[in-house]
Amino acid sequence: VTHPTPKPPRRRDPKSTRERLVRSALDLFTSKGYHETTTPQIAARAGVAEGTIYRHFASKDLLLNELYRAGVRRLLKPVVESKGGTRDRLEAIAADWRELALRDASLARMVFDGRFTQLLDERSRTAWAELGAALESMVASGKSAGEVRAGGAGAWADFWVAVVRHVVLKVADGRWKPDDPAVRLMLDGVWRAMSAAPDALQTPANL
C-alpha cells in the first residue's frame, strides 16, 4: 500500500461537485448503460478525479440508486399536485412527464428505461412501488366517481403507465415532439379505453 504524494486538490464549491457527478453519471448511465460506464468516465465528464466520486457516493451502485430515486421523486410531483377530474389529472401528469422528457431526457430514461430495474436496491423498488400506488389510488377514486370503466384500478393504472412510458421514451429519444400527433393519438387512445363514458371523444378541460 504505497501512497505517493498526491496532487493538491482543486478547490470547488462542494455542492457543485456532487451535482456535476450526478449529471455526469445520469447522462452516461442512460446513454451507454450502467456496466458500459466506468468510474473514470464518470469522473472525467464531471471534471473531477476518480476518487472524488467516493467522497460523495459510497459506491457506483449506490450512485445509480440515488439517481433513480431522484427520478422517481421527480415523477411523483405532478401526481401529488394535480387536481380535478381523473382525465384532467392524467393529462396534467402526462404533460408534465413529457416536458420532463424533453428538458431532462436522461432523468426520464433513468426511471422508465427498465434497463436498470435489476440493479435497484430495496429502497428504490419501494419508491417506484409508491409511485404506482399513488396512480392506482387516483384511478380508484376515478372509478368511484364513475369516470373510469369497471376493472381493477391497478390494471387500468398499469395500462395507462405502459402507454405513457412508451410516449415518454419516444420524447426523451427526440423521436417524438411532446405535441406530436402520435402522442395525442396514444393519450386519447388510453383514455378512450379506460373511460366509462360511451363516447370519450371530447377534449379534456385543460387542453
Partner DNA sequence: TATGAATGAGTTTTCATTCAT
Partner DNA sequence: TATGAATGAAAACTCATTCAT
SS3 call for 195 = strand
Dihedral sign from CA coordinates of 144, 92, 109, 122? negative
56 makes contact with DNA (CB under 7 A): yes
Dihedral sign from CA coordinates of 106, 110, 116, 120? positive
Question: Which are the contacts of 82, defined by CB distance < 8 A and separation ≥ 6?
Answer: 88, 89, 92, 93
Candidates 50-58, 83-91, 153-161, 178-186: pick the segment binding DNA (CB under 7 A): 50-58
Query: Minimum distance from CB of 5 to a second copy (Å)?
Result: 10
118 makes contact with DNA (CB under 7 A): no
With CB under 7 A as the contact rule, the residue among 30, 37, 65, 195 that binds DNA is 37
> How many residues bind to DNA according to rule CB under 7 A?
33
Query: Minimum distance from CB of 36 to DNA (Å)?
Result: 7
Q: What does 190 bind: a second copy, DNA, none (CB cut-off 5 to 8 Å by kind)?
A: a second copy
Q: For residues 16-42, b (16+ Cβ closer than 10 Å) or e, as one string?
A: ebbebbbbbbbbbbbeeebeebebeeb
With CB under 7 A as the contact rule, the residue among 8, 146, 181, 198 that binds DNA is 8
195 makes contact with DNA (CB under 7 A): no
Place of cell 434497463: 115
Residues binding DNA (CB under 7 A) = 1-14, 17, 35, 37-40, 48-56, 58-61
